[in-house]
Amino acid sequence: MKVLSIQSSVSYGHAGNSSAVFPLQRLGHEVWPVYTVHFSNHTGYGQWRGPVFSPDTVADVVLGIEERGVLPQCDAVLSGYMGDAEIGEVILDAVARVKAANPAAVYCADPVMGDVGRGFFVREGIPQFMRDRVVPVADILTPNQFELEYLTGGPIATVDDLLRAVDDVRERGPKTVLVTSVQTDETPADSVQMVLATDAGAWLVTTPLLPMYVSGAGDATAAIFLAHVLGQDPATALAETADSVFTIMATTHEAGSREIALIAAQDGIAHPSGQFEAVRLR
């Protein structure tokens, strides 16, 4: 695959493209990263340095890629955190340009907005932009449970609630939806789940919940899932994504690191161990 990934980047650590590009490359794919910011480190530290690129600058980089005549070769566009709606519009314009050049290309959007316990952590207007502008255009959507609740306007307490919410969002655009950080009333203790729904059905995978919080894991998850879902059956894609993400998190936890251990866990990205099974829900 050749993937146009439009996201933030950091020099130290892993977030945005600095989290998404390496897993895609380790899985054998070519990545064309376009940066929306280039910070010294992710903002979770409370202090950072570096530039925020203007929408015109980001659009200019995309135009330069287009001028190389390579957009017909682009298989997918990947996006994550959007600093503001203007950057979002540039990303959607890039998606339109890619699909005009290659109608078979897909758009994978990670609708980064917030999380359980933290609430929304994006600028005002971004949640509405994700709901009204991104969801209808996306082919693949990778929200966490909190984000799915916002997109569908209701709480999710059970697996049935979650499936109804997934069906709701799938009717509005993306046919493939991966829900991460799932914890319903039915989730086993000390566990976390992912649920995948496509036209072929729905599946659930359960992994241990580690006592930690790090930035960048969702960016890596979306990238790894994109790499798997376009070349494998959905259940295998889900199981291998969960396997690789758990390996990254376990390696990070063992190291006591504040940054996800992408490099140390790279063999687990390239060669999932098969330790988790995707269970069909329907």
pLDDT digits (tens, 9 = 90+) for 95-128: 999 999 999 999 999 999 998 878 888 889 999 9
In whole angstroms, give the CA distance from residue 51 to residue 48.
10
Mean pLDDT of 183-189: 96
pLDDT at 123: 87
Residue 21: pLDDT above 90? yes
Residue 67 has pLDDT above 90, yes or no: yes
Residue with the larger pLDDT of the pair 115 and 169: 169
Per-residue pLDDT for 33 more than 90?
yes
Summary mean pLDDT of the chain: 96
pTM listed for this prediction: 0.97
Task: In whole angstroms, give the CA distance from residue 252 to residue 258.
Answer: 8
- Secondary structure of the chain as H, E, C letters: CEEEEEEEEECCCCCCHHHHHHHHHHCCCEEEEEEEEEECCCHHHCCCCCCECCHHHHHHHHHHHHHCCCHHHCCEEEECCCCCHHHHHHHHHHHHHHHHHCCCCEEEECCCCEECCCEECCCCCHHHHHHHHHCCCCCEECCEHHHHHHHHCCCCCCHHHHHHHHHHHHCCCCCEEEEEEECCCCCCCCEEEEEEEECCEEEEEEEECCCCCCECHHHHHHHHHHHHHCCCCHHHHHHHHHHHHHHHHHHHHHHCCCECCCCCCHHHHHCCCCCCCCEECC
Instruction: Inform me whether the pLDDT recorded for 83 exceeds 90.
Output: no
Q: Which domains does the chain have, with CATH numbers?
A: 2-280 (3.40.1190.20)
- Region 249-256: mean pLDDT is 97
**Cβ neighbourhood burial of 67 (10 Å; 0-12, 13-18, 19+):** exposed
